[in-house]
A and B are shown apart, each in its own frame.
Chain A
Amino acid sequence: MINAVGEPQSLLLLGGTSDIALAIARRYARDGLRVVLAARPSERRTAAASELKSIGCDVTEVDLDARDHESHAASIELAFAGGDIDIAVIAFGLLGDPERAWQDPDLALELAEVNYAAPVHFGVLLGQRMQAQAHGWIVALSSVAGERVRRSNFVYGSTKAGFDGFFLGLGEALREYGVHVLVVRPGFVKSKMTTGLDEVPLAVTPDQVAEAVADAIKAKRELVWVPGPLRVVMSGLRHVPRPLFRRLPI
């Protein structure tokens, strides 16, 4: 469990090669920290594992395939084989080409599966495990794109809207068992997922997201925007009338 000075003993990164997940691992890294990297087998995963090992972590690699839902339970089983998990981060996701996504049924389905169905499935599996251990954090990496879904990337946005709602609800359900869920709503994160996209104002780095996650866990918060001022921006945008919203350059 997370000790009195806020240090976790174990992390599970679902989507263990995501830049944000690895930034979170680096943020908590110290000698003996147990990290389970769950991701598709790849060179990137191997590289991530050796990097974390080099800074003292005790790393286990576990295969995870978001689209193969039959495999999810086994992945979670393996992830918990080494003992309790203090912080589980759900970090996998797919951005997809937004214009293709609403016109290509396969891509739309893939986004829905990877960004919504699989996280929900994992969320339930993690919830069961964490309920039994009666402590721990599920960190769900949502997005401001889900807070008000906009024309420019509405397939992605809609998956994140569902994702966000599910994990907020899961947090309420698990509260009484001593389990916490933190929903993180970053804005534009400069990462491999967004490489090649134009940067927008209030863009953040994965390290900043990691820092915000650590602060939120320390303060036992359930919902956090990164950067913080996005909360104000989004609460404004949420209420912009539709005819006006459609004309905004976002």
Chain B
Amino acid sequence: MSDDAVPAIKPSLPEEQPMIPQPLVELHGWGRASGTMAHLAQIDSVADAVSALRKSDSRRGVVPRGLGRSYGDAAQNAGGTALDLTKMNRILSVDAAGEPPTVTVQAGVSLDHLMRALLPFGLWVPVLPGTRQVTVGGAIAADVHGKNHHTEGSFGNHVHSLDLLMANGKVRTLTPRGDTERLFWATIGGMGLTGAVLRATVALQRTETAYFSVDTHRTSDIDDLMEQMSQRDDAYTYSVAWFDAVTRGRHMGRAVLTRGNKASLAQLPSKLKRDPLKFVAPSLGTLPEIFPNRMINKATAKAFSSAWYYKAPKHRTGELQNITQFFHPLDLLAEWNRIYGPNGFLQYQFVVPFEEADAFRRCLEMIVNSGHLSCLNVLKRFGEANPAPLSFPMPGWTLTVDLPIEQGLDKLCDALDTEVVAAGGRVYLAKDSRLSAATFRQMYPRLDDFLAVRREVDPEGIFNSDLARRLELSKPSIGGAA
């Protein structure tokens, strides 16, 4: 549908200005639970981005969008414009000799693309979330973290500079220190609400191989797991646990803890030494759109959880794993979110400080005893936070569950929110699709710092999204009044 078929949404434009096609399409997050319609503008250049921004309807605004991997409504903008930046996907330059080495990319480059391009040079992306199918722009806007947060921090910690398209149509280069540091850090984790990241220079690491030396350990319950993690996490660069969120009683929270370090060349068997930097990322295909709701039910969830637990060795050290095995098993199946059926699902990820381990256990109990079934459950210890006011990670325990949308899920999530707020914790905006504005404010004590920056750079709230409206970030000149 062409844009002029939508009367009264946009002010009419002079005819001589060529329009970027902006079809009205339904956009949803990875959870597929609450899509809305927006004008999706295909952005091929900085000029396109500026033009789309200038022509947008100021009442509904624009939101930058990458590969749509945030679970909720962060990259949705009902009635407004979404800037599709995935075609701005060029790697502009690599400084392999630098200390650290760096790469400069357009914001639409995916981490998958980046890893494939850099690995042959022995260069490694320092922070990888649970999927490689995210853009660099998205990784910055959500300040994503990976299994190495306790040693390396989140993605924003590794950004040396970024170019931000601001509400006034100007592009500004920002750095973590100096004149632009406030806007820089507000942009890290800022969910695209300070502007659109168009390019970034990111620090890299060097690696000899594309393999990991992994220790696997099965724990009998949640206490065992938390103790194991507390004691020896620092010996590993990467650490994460999958836990069983279905089994109740004595073995509640039994888990498979996997921790590892990058394998050195010497650790590889001779067969792998021939091509130590090989990027092993097979695909098992794309999941078709045939699954009904309630595929995840008591029977399947129990069977899956038991199988996943017992398939892991009780204790094994020094196993070599490739990138897909270690980091991204879900990337084996494209569109895996379809398994949840048309109602979709949500991911609830929260963090509470280390000293609130009891609150953490109570949350886990609430989930396990709720009757809501989650199969993909991740538990991790976070390291230090960074200076970004809306960045999610902070020192403490974080837990993630995938919950199919079912009757009563709202109550469970509200109850978890209450516990998390009381413990001084928070939930992750990149996963969120339901938090209320009031609860959000309690979780992010530095929200006013963020809003102050946003008021300066975008007083009209041109950068806007469904998430921004839901959490009352949309009109900073109003919402910011504390």
Contacts and interface: CB of A to CB of B under 8 A. Distances in A.
Nearest to A5: B410
Given A1-B469, A5-B410, A83-B469, A134 B37 contact: yes
Contact of A178 (B26, B409, B434, B474): B26
B6 interface: yes
B370 to A, nearest CB: 13
A2 B35 CA distance: 10
Contacts of A32: 436-438
A197 B329 CA distance: 65
B59 interface: yes
A177 B438 CA distance: 30
A7 B437 CA distance: 13
Interface string A142-172: 0000000000000000000000000000000
A132 interface: yes
A135 B436 contact: no
B36 interface: yes
Contacts of B470: 1, 3, 9
B36 A4 contact: no
B60 interface: yes
Given A31-B438, A128-B8, A134 B38 contact: yes
B434 A177 contact: no
Contacts of A208: none
Q: Is the interface of B mostly helix, strand, loop or mixed?
A: loop
B9 interface: yes
Interface residues of A, number: 22
B78 A133 contact: yes
Interface hub of A4, A30, A134, A135 (most chain B Cβ within 10 A): A4
Contact of A4 (B9, B434, B469, B474): B434
Contact of A132 (B34, B59, B414): B59
Contacts of B346: 4-5
Interface in A1-41: 1-7, 9, 30-32
Interface residues of B, number: 35
A60 interface: no
A5 B409 contact: yes
Contact of B79 (A2, A7, A133): A133
B36 A1 contact: yes
A3 B413 CA distance: 12
A176 interface: yes
A113 interface: no
A176 B6 CA distance: 10
A61 interface: no
A4 B344 contact: yes
Nearest to B29: A4
Interface hub of A1, A132, A134 (most chain B Cβ within 10 A): A134
A100 to B, nearest CB: 42
Contacts of A131: 6, 8-9, 79
B79 A4 contact: no
B31 A178 contact: no
A4 B78 CA distance: 15
A176 B474 CA distance: 25
Contacts of A9: 436, 469-470
Interface string B392-434: 0000000000000100011001100000000000000000011
Contacts of A63: none
Given A84-B78, A132-B60, 11 more contacts: A4-B72, A5-B433, A6-B405, A31-B436, A32-B436, A132-B79, A133-B78, A134-B24, A134-B38, A135-B79, A135-B466
30 contacts: A1-B34, A1-B78, A1-B470, A2-B34, A3-B73, A3-B470, A4-B31, A4-B34, A4-B73, A4-B344, A4-B346, A5-B33, A5-B413, A5-B433, A6-B410, A30-B414, A30-B436, A31-B438, A84-B469, A131-B8, A132-B60, A132-B79, A134-B9, A134-B78, A135-B37, A135-B79, A135-B466, A177-B6, A178-B26, A178-B78
Interface of A: 1-7, 9, 30-32, 83-84, 128, 131-135, 176-178
